[in-house]
A and B are shown apart, each in its own frame.
Chain A
Amino acid sequence: MQQQGTDGTGEPLVAMRNVGLRYGTGPEVLRDLDLELAEGSFHFLTGRSGAGKSSLLSLLHLSRRPSRGLMRVFGHDMQDMPAREVPVLRRRIGVVFQDFRLLDHLSAQENVALPLKVANSMDSDRIDEIVQELIEWVGLSQQAQARPPTLSGGEKQRVAIARAVISSPRLLLADEPTGNVDQEMGERLMRLFVKLNSLGTTIVIATHDLSLPGRYGYPLLHLEDGRLSNESGGAA
């Protein structure tokens, strides 16, 4: 199922060379990262709690700059990326945050619509249409008007996932996307990711549920002590 595809130039979607990340003046929580994500690939990112999974994802969705090293995303060097061009790149990346980060004063439906709204490239009727479709698809039609504080953990998770995929991102990053849902919903969400991947989306899923990679057989990125060790997860 995994394509070893790249974009036209044969360049990986994301490439890191010798990347390190530190928070403020603290120690490096990520070091010496060498990583390539081929276009259309699917990876699980594993590691103990505190190993740096969320930190690595924050580099990948461009919410932090590496403290050192080289990083290329969609063929752009992040070192000399002007800040005003970063938003355009971010719009091609969907993120499911570990803590969801939904806006409590907006309804589920409005939360899902946000990425399309801030991109300013679609009229609101079209946005409504797409949102309805997606809300239905993640099984939240009944809760479309509800605000996040009144939703269950799993429902919030599904809102967050719908928001991450609504703009058809080229790269989808999910931080523990199945952490708050029961086995059955977990399977359903995984099938959604597999489906998106088969449509060409590059996917990275962070999890400490080690049974997942075993069941789906995608390659593993394992973080330990802030370093990556590439392992293949099962039958790749």
Chain B
Amino acid sequence: MSVSELSLDRDPSSRFVPWIVAALSLMCAIALGTAFALASMTADWGRAASDQVTLRVATGDTDIPALVDQVARLEAVSRIEHLPREQVARMLQPWLGDVAQVDTALLPLPALIDVRLKPGADTSELRALIADRSEITLDSADAWLAPLQDLAGLARLVAWVLAAVAVGAIMLVTVFATRSALVNQRQTVDLLRLIGAADGYIAKRFQRHGLRLALFGGIAGTVPGLIVIFFATAAARLQGAALLNGLTPSLAGWLAIAALPLIVALVATFTARVTVLKLLRASW
């Protein structure tokens, strides 16, 4: 005899709940996808940029090979490369057009020296070396990347807040749906209590109901969410600058988003239980 004493499946007030949960899950999935994608993108920036600096030497009579030698001997430096003049000229291509047509020898191009630092090393040695040589400038990605990092961090925070708001709204929806189901089933619930059902027994029925609705809604929202994240980040990487190369959630991130229906179902189960127990306790 496995019939349910409570006919919750036929409860009209819960018909829309899965779709509301689905919409909120979609929002939550996209927010999480954004947060995770930004996290791996900024991690990527950090890896690529923090150990790489460029020395820019204004045209003049600096002895470049001697400078390269000097820098290479520094403790912090792992690799050094003097960029060939043609390569530097090519960087100007966006402004000058096809450099092959231009006599680059006439251009006052600076000399560029790429310096790769040992992991964890900082630029203080290097800065000391060039401190009194005004023709040499040290370009570090950190300088212009820092505000972008801050911006990405802010965007991540916003994404997390949105995800949390979505989960909070799912809890609220569950509370309302559970309350109205309980009101609709009041007579049955009262009778069950009178013949000796413990509050936990009744709560379990509502829990299962909440779990089923939320699991369905969670899946219905998360699957399109995953698809949106996949295509949106792929599109951004394709047409965006190299800066966006890392814009995709990590494997752990993808898995966490995929687990969203379970998390939503657990949240709804727990919320339904607490709601029912609280309401039942208020009336002996």
Contact = CB atoms under 8 A, between A and B. Distances in A.
The answer on A and B forming one complex is: yes
Given A65-B284, A103-B188, A105-B7, A118 B195 contact: yes
Contact of A120 (B5, B191, B201): B201
Interface in B147-169: none
Given A90-B196, A101-B191, A114 B5 contact: yes
Interface in A98-134: 101, 103, 105-106, 109-110, 113-115, 117-120, 124, 127-128
Interface residues of B, number: 20
Nearest to A81: B284
Contacts of A61: 194
B88 interface: no
B258 interface: no
A235 interface: no
A215 interface: no
Range, interface on chain A = 20 to 34
A103 B195 contact: no
B1 A63 contact: no
B192 interface: yes
B196 A118 contact: yes
B192 A114 contact: yes
A95 B194 contact: yes
A235 B242 CA distance: 103
B198 interface: yes
Contacts of B1: 109-110, 113, 117, 124, 127-128
Main secondary structure of the interface of A (DSSP, over half): helix
B276 to A, nearest CB: 14
Contacts of A149: none
Given A110-B3, A117-B1, A128-B1, A87 B281 contact: no
Contacts of B190: 63
Contacts of A115: 195-196
Contacts of A88: 196, 198
Contacts of A83: 199, 281, 284
B194 A103 contact: no
A66 B143 CA distance: 76
B11 to A, nearest CB: 12
A105 B8 CA distance: 11
B182 to A, nearest CB: 16
Contacts of B5: 103, 106, 114, 117-118
Of all A-B residue pairs in the complex, the 9 with the closest CB atoms, nearest first, are: A91-B196, A118-B197, A90-B196, A87-B198, A115-B195, A105-B7, A87-B196, A101-B191, A63-B194
B187 A101 contact: yes
Contacts of A106: 3, 5
A62 B164 CA distance: 43
